[in-house]
C-alpha cells in the first residue's frame, strides 16, 4: 500500500474534497449528462459550498479533465506494472483490460469524456496531480505518487518500442500510425458498446488488438490484406 508519510493534513483534506466532488459527478453522470447536472447538487453530495467547488474547478467541465488525468495515471500504473514482467504487447493489452473494467463499471462516463474531448478538439488540458491526490485516489497502487504524469502515449509508445525490439512487431513498424489505431480502438470500442453491452468491451478490445497486430505484421511483410 502506498504510504502517506509526510503528507500534511491540509493537503490530504484538499485532495479528499476534490475527489469527493469528482466522485459525486461521476455517479450522477451515469444518469444525466454533465451539462444537466447542477453544481449545487454536486456540492450537496460532497457537503461543500459552491464557492469551494469553483476554487477547485473554475468550470464544471474541468471535472472531466481531472478525471481524464486520474484515469490516465491509473492506466499507466497498470501498464508499467505488467511491463516490469512482460514489456511489449502484453503491457499494452493490460492497459486495455484495465480500461475495460472502468468502462464496465461506469459506461456513462466514457461517453461524456469522449464528448468533452471532441469539444476541446484534442487532449484535455493537463491538470496537476499532487502527491496527496494520487495517494487518496489510489491507496493500493504502490509508488503511484512518484509515477511520471502523462497520457496514454506515456505507456503505450514505450511498449510499442519494446514490442519492436522483442520481435513481437516488425522492425519497420511505424509507431505513430499504430498509436493512431490504438487510440481509435481505445475510444471507439466503448463508444460502440458501452451503453448497449459494456460487458463485451474487454473481449472486443482484445479482438481489435489482435486484428491490429496481425495487420501491422502483414503490412510490414507486404502480405496482401
pLDDT value at residue 122? 55
pLDDT digits (tens, 9 = 90+) for 102-138: 999 899 899 899 888 888 765 556 667 889 999 999 9
Please enumerate in sequence order all residues whose Cβ is within 8 A of that of 123, keeping only pairs 6 or more positions apart, or say none.
Answer: 117, 151
Looking at residues 203-213, what average pLDDT do you find?
A: 97
- On the question of pLDDT at 224 being above 90, the answer is no
3 state SS of 197: coil
> pTM value?
0.87
Torsion of the alpha carbons at 80, 64, 116 and 79, rounded to the nearest 10: 10
pLDDT value at residue 4? 45
pLDDT value at residue 5? 59
Please enumerate in sequence order all residues whose Cβ is within 8 A of that of 180, keeping only pairs 6 or more positions apart, or say none.
Answer: none
- The secondary structure of 97-136 as a DSSP string is HHHHHHHHH-HHHHHHHHHHHHHTTSSPPP----HHHHHH
Confidence of residue 183 (pLDDT cuts 50, 70, 90): very high
pLDDT value at residue 165? 95
Domains and CATH numbers, the chain: 60-221 (1.10.357)
pLDDT value at residue 152? 85
Instruction: Give the mean pLDDT of the chain.
Output: 90
| Rounded distance between C-alpha atoms, residue 53 and residue 34, angstroms | 15
- On the question of pLDDT at 17 being above 50, the answer is yes
Confidence of residue 195 (pLDDT cuts 50, 70, 90): confident
Please enumerate in sequence order all residues whose Cβ is within 8 A of that of 33, keeping only pairs 6 or more positions apart, or say none.
Answer: 112
pLDDT value at residue 59? 93
Spell out a b/e string for 24-61, using b for 16 or more CB atoms within 10 Å of the CB, else e. Answer: bbbebbeeeebeebeeeebbeebebeeeebeebbeebb
pLDDT value at residue 97? 94
- On the question of pLDDT at 94 being above 80, the answer is yes
pLDDT value at residue 115? 87
Amino acid at each position: 500500500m502506498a504510504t502517506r508519510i509526510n503528507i500534511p493534513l491540509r493537503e490530504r483534506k484538499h485532495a479528499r474534497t476534490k475527489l469527493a466532488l469528482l466522485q459525486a459527478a461521476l455517479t450522477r453522470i451515469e444518469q444525466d449528462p454533465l451539462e444537466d447536472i447542477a453544481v449545487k447538487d454536486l456540492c450537496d453530495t460532497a457537503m461543500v459550498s459552491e464557492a469551494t467547488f469553483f476554487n477547485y474547478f473554475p468550470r464544471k467541465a474541468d471535472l472531466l479533465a481531472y478525471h481524464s488525468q486520474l484515469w490516465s495515471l491509473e492506466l499507466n500504473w497498470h501498464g508499467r506494472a505488467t511491463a516490469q514482467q512482460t514489456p511489449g504487447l502484453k503491457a499494452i493489452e493490460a492497459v486495455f483490460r484495465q480500461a475495460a473494467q472502468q468502462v464496465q463499471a461506469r459506461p456513462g462516463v466514457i461517453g461524456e469524456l469522449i464528448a468533452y474531448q471532441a469539444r476541446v478538439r484534442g487532449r484535455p488540458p493537463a491538470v496537476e496531480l499532487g502527491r496527496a491526490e494520487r495517494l487518496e485516489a489510489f491507496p493500493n497502487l504502490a509508488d503511484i505518487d512518484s509515477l511520471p504524469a502523462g497520457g496514454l502515449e506515456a505507456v503505450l509508445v514505450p511498449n510499442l518500442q519494446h514490442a519492436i525490439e522483442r520481435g513481437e512487431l516488425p522492425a519497420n513498424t511505424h509507431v505513430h500510425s499504430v498509436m493512431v489505431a490504438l487510440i481509435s480502438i481505445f475510444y471507439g470500442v466503448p463508444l460502440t458498446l458501452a451503453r448497449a453491452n459494456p460487458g463485451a468491451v474487454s473481449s472486443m478490445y482484445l479482438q481489435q488488438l489482435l486484428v491490429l497486430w496481425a495487420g501491422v505484421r502483414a503490412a510490414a511483410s507486404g502480405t496482401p490484406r
